[in-house]
Amino acid sequence: MTAFTFSAFHELSCYPGIVLGIIILGLAIVAYTLYDLFFHPLSGIPGPIGARTGLWSWKSTRAARKDMGWKLLELHNKYGTVVRIARNEASICDPVAINQIYRFKSPLEKTRFYESLQGLDGPTSISTVDNKRHAEMRRAESPAYATKLFADFEEKIDASCADLTEHLDQCIDAGKGTMDVGHVLQMFAIDAVGELALGKSFGLCATGKDTHNWLPMLAQFLEIACLVGTQPIIASIFRRVAQMLPEPSNVKILTGIVNSRIDSRLKEYKAQETTYHGHQDMLEKLMAAQNPDGSEYSLQQVRAAVGSVLGAGSDTTAIIMRAMIRFVVGDAEIYRKVQKEIDDAVNCGGIQFPLSYNDADKLPYFQACLKETLRLHPPVPWTLSRSIGAGGAYISGRFFAKGTEVSMSPFVLHRCGEAYGDDAAVFRPERWLEADPEQRKTMEHNNLAFGAGPRVCIGKTIGMLEVSKVMPFLFWKYEVGFTPRSATSPHTHKVGRAVDGCASMAEPYFVTSQWVALQSDFWCDISRRRVA
């Protein structure tokens, strides 16, 4: 060994240029590390040493291992309110910081992470970093999300809900009441966004299957986007390469359907030779959207905007529906209360199905369960990161210099005592009913599930509309039990994993925590209830 080392050194000494290069590289790494640790604007903030030196990407590791929520919570429990999670990024867990980071006045720009959420048709409101460009897009596209269209949205969601329950009934009648409910709810969510964004369902629930494997494909897109997004330079190369590669066949089928629905709407308009097209739906509003110079949205812009509804509106809604079943059915007393509230409201004629969005407000305990679900299982647990602009900014009592990045994770904030009290980690719907109006307002404000400020989810009300209309019907019509996990059960995972990372045989599904906190393997035993 010694002889080998000596001879290696001897050989290297014949190449002084290489030796000098190695020494310079070593010194550069040491200098870079010392700068990051002691002189970088974030040097005073605690965090894992690898992340602070920038020699190890803590966030890429989280994206690869899909364990962001609970690992970030561990860091905050260890280091406190402000934690350095990358050489240039601090994560903050403080409700006071919401209005400072996600402010309306001189808003902070999104970080380049978001560029990776861009689809193949170009920039969308979620992926656009530049605030001015984002504001223009948001203004152009907001009529497609307006409350004026709610009558149309309700009809479309009712149609998708009818397909969903027909599918569930067929399964039960065929003796297949034990099913992966998570998968079925994802099919519903895709169908519903198809109805909303394109005026027609994709028909997954109606046919009972995801024929073209779109569900795993969409999940994979988000996972890869999140992973490469943690390395913006790699992400931009990746995007360029991806654009050159041929589309996989199932993506081709999906884009083909999107394009043909837009084309047929265009043909319909041409045939009518009128600017008023008669449809009061999202697609019409997106096709009528205008750029700041007054030009109409190009077909590519319409496709990108439709794509962002499909991408941002399906996973998130399905996640909330699964989580709500998990929390409600998982606690016998809460489940009984939810069912009783709905049964009583139906029996006394207070509500009827299909449930209107307004009538969903007549179910306060159900609504409290929904808020509690959004709190403990926010569909997006990832850090919603922003860049500090010129002049720097004071956040959570600290000064952050221009160019540094700050972020908050909905998952972490929602478990913070300052935001929700000492029992923040407990699913307790009563907290929303016991709170006085002022406390409720504060709790609502501290809920980051949809983001906050000028970049807040534009589809928030549509998402709430879907869940509020469909879930009471499912709780009323069906009895749900978790299929016990055993060596012979249909589960893929031997042990389940909760949204907080805890592994247990009793956990009915398996959660991965990345950009979204996705559940899989959610096997339930479904039967019809007596009242149906």
Q: How far is the CB of 344 from ligand HEM (least distance, A)?
A: 27
Question: Are 508 and 357 spatial neighbours (Cβ–Cβ below 8 Å)?
Answer: no
* 112 binds ligand HEM per the rule CB under 6 A: no
Closest residue by Cα to residue 518 from 246, 188, 222? 222
Q: Kindly tell me which of 345 and 471 has the beta carbon lying closer to ligand HEM.
A: 471
Question: Cα(489)–Cα(261) distance, rounded to whole angstroms?
Answer: 41
Q: Which stretch binds ligand HEM (CB under 6 A): 9-17, 163-171, 273-281, 448-456?
A: 448-456
Tokens encoding 491? 């589960």
Binding residue for ligand HEM, selected from 325, 458, 498, 511, defined by CB under 6 A: 458
Count CB-CB contacts under 10 A for residue 362. 16
In whole angstroms, the minimum distance from the beta carbon of 379 to ligand HEM comes to 4
Q: Is 412 in the site for ligand HEM (CB under 6 A)?
A: no
383 binds ligand HEM (CB under 6 A): no
CB of residue 270 to ligand HEM, shortest distance in Å? 27
> Is 472 one of the binding residues for ligand HEM (CB under 6 A)?
no
What is the closest distance, in whole angstroms, from the C-beta atom of residue 135 to ligand HEM in the complex?
9
Shortest distance, CB of residue 175 to ligand HEM, whole angstroms? 33
Helix (H, G, I), strand (E, B), or coil: what is residue 408?
strand
Q: Which stretch binds ligand HEM (CB under 6 A): 5-13, 211-219, 272-280, 304-312?
A: 304-312
Q: Two tokens at 528?
A: 């019809």
Which candidate, 32, 37, 34, 35, places its Cα nearest to that of 48?
A: 37
CA-derived radius of gyration, the chain: 25
125 binds ligand HEM (CB under 6 A): yes
| 450 sits near ligand HEM (criterion: CB under 6 A) | yes
380 counts as binding ligand HEM under rule CB under 6 A = yes
Q: How many residues bind to ligand HEM according to rule CB under 6 A? A: 22
320 touches ligand HEM by CB under 6 A = yes
Helix 232-244 with 214-229: angle, nearest 10 deg: 140
Q: How far is CA 255 from CA 120, 121, 184, 216, 467, in A?
A: 10, 10, 22, 16, 27
Report the Cα 295 to chain-centroid distance in Å: 32
Residue numbers 233-272 binding ligand HEM by CB under 6 A: none
| 416 is an annotated ligand-binding site residue | no
Whole-Å CA distances, 464 to 195, 278, 308, 410, 459: 16, 26, 17, 17, 9
Does the footprint of ligand HEM cover residue 313 (CB under 6 A)? yes
**Nearest distance in Å: CB 318, ligand HEM:** 9
Residues listed for the chain: 532
Strand order in the sheet with 523-528: 178-180, 523-528, 478-482
End-to-end CA distance of the chain: 79
Q: 379 or 496: whose CB is closer to ligand HEM?
A: 379
Residues 129-148 that bind ligand HEM (CB under 6 A): 138
Q: Is 316 among the residues that bind ligand HEM (CB under 6 A)? A: yes
Q: Could you say whether residue 449 binds ligand HEM (CB under 6 A)?
A: yes
Tell whether residue 457 is a contact of ligand HEM (CB under 6 A). yes
- Is 239 exposed, middle or buried (CB count within 10 Å of its CB: 0-12, 13-18, 19+)? middle
Annotated binding-site residues for heme read: 457
Annotated binding-site residues read: 457
Residues at the interface with ligand HEM (CB under 6 A): 125-126, 138, 308-309, 312-313, 316-317, 320, 379-380, 384, 449-451, 455, 457-459, 462-463
